[in-house]
């Protein structure tokens, strides 16, 4: 229907129906023999199991997993174009769910807030870091008597490790980010599954480089093309990855998704107060002090780990202030957005002259 609408308004664009356009794209993808497919990196097939989807055009998945630094295979470009497509497809599916959420009838502002919670780079990176496949294997090992025995040896293969790259910097970023993830995984998972407030600050503390979320979006884009543009197929993949269950919980349990900095700003506007964030780096620590009308109310400090540390302590301080001021759960929620509209100045009425 969107396609028919663009034709009706004659926008001067050469639009084609989605299936026809996808067929053209797929016709340009190199056809591979069974032998070539068997020689692909093994992580390709692991990713298919994680997604619960088998690609017909394997090179689409290869492209979705290829970082710009990768030098071992020149048959596909990097995932950048695929990531752009996947971002749009993800937005479309999430928006469709929120628009038709039973009994909600969300306003555009409410749709935007909830959509932002599940399509932002922080949460997509978190999902990329946690998505894994357990592979059962057997390994010969010596027992206490020095004899060789065959024992079970299960291994966890993570999605982020399936990225094809040739960069020491990417490898270092992967390992450092995963270390932070393991430290905060339980905290974030508990907040996402049981909390009443979306864990913006905890997700920010992962300091995940952009390629984690790019990888998620590019895989979604590749699946969309490979299945011929089937929204149903892609939605099933989002269910398996945990994106749709998270969105459903946010809606059904009315999880508070307003960003803590935005919440403080709305509260300040409503009560005519001035909020200031004093960010500093002192003795190897990043600190943030929140001042309300010039008075220090909250201070948070954490280890300095580069410029992103400032966002970490800022968001953490905002969350602490929200709890201190008791602004959540009925304090300053999403409904405030409706009340804080910019009022236009009233026009002065001109006095009518008496007609004598």
Q: What are 307-323's pLDDT values in tens digits?
A: 777 888 888 888 888 88
Structure confidence at residue 311 (pLDDT): 83
For the segment 140-157, the average pLDDT, to the nearest whole number, is: 73
Residue 260 has pLDDT above 90, yes or no: no
**CA–CA separation, 241 vs 132, rounded Å?**
10
Q: What are 230-249's pLDDT values in tens digits?
A: 999 999 999 999 999 999 99
Residue 341 has pLDDT above 90, yes or no: no
Structure confidence at residue 161 (pLDDT): 95
**CA–CA separation, 311 vs 279, rounded Å?**
9
Structure confidence at residue 328 (pLDDT): 62
Report helix angle 121-130 to 108-119, nearest 10. 40
pLDDT band at 332 (very low <50, low <70, confident <90, very high): very low
Query: 229-238 in b/e burial notation, b at 16+ Cβ within 10 A?
Result: beeeebbbbb
For the segment 325-341, the average pLDDT, to the nearest whole number, is: 51
**CA–CA separation, 302 vs 281, rounded Å?**
10
Residue 276 has pLDDT above 80, yes or no: yes
Among the ranges given (36-40, 75-79, 223-227, 250-254), the one the predictor scored with the smallest mean pLDDT: 36-40
**CA–CA separation, 184 vs 130, rounded Å?**
11
Could you say which of 3.40.50.1370, 3.40.50.1860, 3.90.226.10, 1.10.1520.10 is the CATH number of the domain covering 14-136+157-252?
1.10.1520.10
Q: For residue 257, give every residue at least 6 positions away whose Cβ sits within 8 Å of its Cβ, in sequence order, or none.
A: 113, 114, 116, 117, 198, 250, 334
DSSP string, 295-342: EEEEEEEEE--STHHHHHHHHHHHHHHHHHHT-TTTTS-TTHHHH-PP
For the segment 92-112, the average pLDDT, to the nearest whole number, is: 94
Could you say which of 2.70.150.10, 3.40.30.10, 3.55.50.30, 3.30.160.20 is the CATH number of the domain covering 260-337?
3.30.160.20
Structure confidence at residue 24 (pLDDT): 85
For the segment 199-220, the average pLDDT, to the nearest whole number, is: 94
pLDDT higher for 26 or 246?
Answer: 246
Every domain of the chain and the residues it spans: 14-136+157-252, 260-337
β-strand partners of 142: 148
**CA–CA separation, 280 vs 260, rounded Å?**
20
Residue 267 has pLDDT above 60, yes or no: yes
Q: Which helix (H) or strand (E) holds 158?
A: strand 155-158
Structure confidence at residue 238 (pLDDT): 97
Structure confidence at residue 139 (pLDDT): 64
The 3-state secondary structure of 34-86, one letter per residue: HHHHHCCCCHHHHHHHHHCCCCCCHHHHHHHCECCCCCCCCCCCCCHHHHHHH
pLDDT band at 76 (very low <50, low <70, confident <90, very high): confident
| Contact by Cβ (8 Å): 187, 180 | no
Residue 53 has pLDDT above 60, yes or no: yes
pLDDT band at 354 (very low <50, low <70, confident <90, very high): very low
Residue 333 has pLDDT above 50, yes or no: no
Cα–Cα distance list, 115 to 18, 232, 257, 316 (Å): 24, 19, 9, 22
Is-same-fold flag (14-136+157-252; 260-337)? no
Closest CA to 196 of 160, 124, 250: 250
Residue 224 has pLDDT above 90, yes or no: yes
Provide the percentage of residues in the chain whose pLDDT is more than 70.
87
Structure confidence at residue 339 (pLDDT): 45
Residue 229 has pLDDT above 50, yes or no: yes
pLDDT band at 138 (very low <50, low <70, confident <90, very high): low
């Amino acid at each position: 229907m969107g396609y028919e609408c663009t034709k009706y308004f004659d926008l001067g664009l050469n639009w084609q129906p989605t299936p026809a356009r996808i067929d053209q794209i797929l016709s340009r993808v190199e056809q591979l023999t069974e032998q070539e497919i068997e020689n692909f990196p093994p992580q390709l097939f692991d990713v298919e199991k994680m997604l619960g989807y088998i690609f017909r055009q394997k090179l689409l998945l290869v492209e979705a997993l290829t970082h710009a630094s990768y030098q071992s295979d020149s048959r596909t470009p990097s995932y950048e174009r695929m990531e752009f497509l996947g971002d749009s497809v993800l937005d479309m599916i999430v928006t469709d769910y929120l628009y038709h959420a039973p009994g909600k009838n969300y306003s555009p502002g409410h749709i935007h807030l909830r959509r932002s919670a599940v399509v932002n780079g922080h949460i997509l990176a978190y999902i990329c870091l946690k998505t894994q496949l357990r592979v059962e294997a057997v390994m010969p090992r010596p027992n206490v008597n020095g004899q060789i025995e065959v024992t079970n040896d299960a291994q966890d293969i993570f999605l982020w490790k399936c990225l094809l790259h040739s960069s020491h910097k990417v490898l270092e970023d992967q390992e450092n980010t995963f270390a932070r993830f393991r430290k905060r995984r339980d905290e974030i998972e508990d907040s996402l599954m049981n909390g009443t407030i979306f864990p913006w600050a905890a997700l920010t503390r992962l300091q995940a480089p952009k390629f984690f979320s790019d990888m998620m979006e590019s895989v979604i884009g590749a699946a969309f093309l490979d299945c011929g543009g089937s929204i149903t197929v892609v939605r099933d993949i989002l269910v398996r990855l945990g994106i749709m269950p998270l969105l459903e919980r946010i809606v059904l349990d009315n999880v508070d998704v307003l960003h803590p900095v935005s919440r403080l700003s709305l509260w300040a506007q409503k009560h005519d107060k001035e909020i200031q964030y004093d960010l500093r780096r002192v003795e190897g620590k990043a600190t943030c002090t929140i001042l309300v009308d010039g008075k220090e109310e909250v201070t948070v400090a954490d280890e300095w780990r580069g410029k992103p540390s400032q966002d970490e302590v800022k968001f953490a301080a905002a969350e602490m202030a929200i709890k201190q001021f008791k602004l959540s759960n009925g304090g300053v929620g999403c409904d405030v957005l409706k009340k804080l509209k910019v009022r236009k100045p009233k026009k002065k009425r001109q006095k009518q002259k008496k007609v004598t």
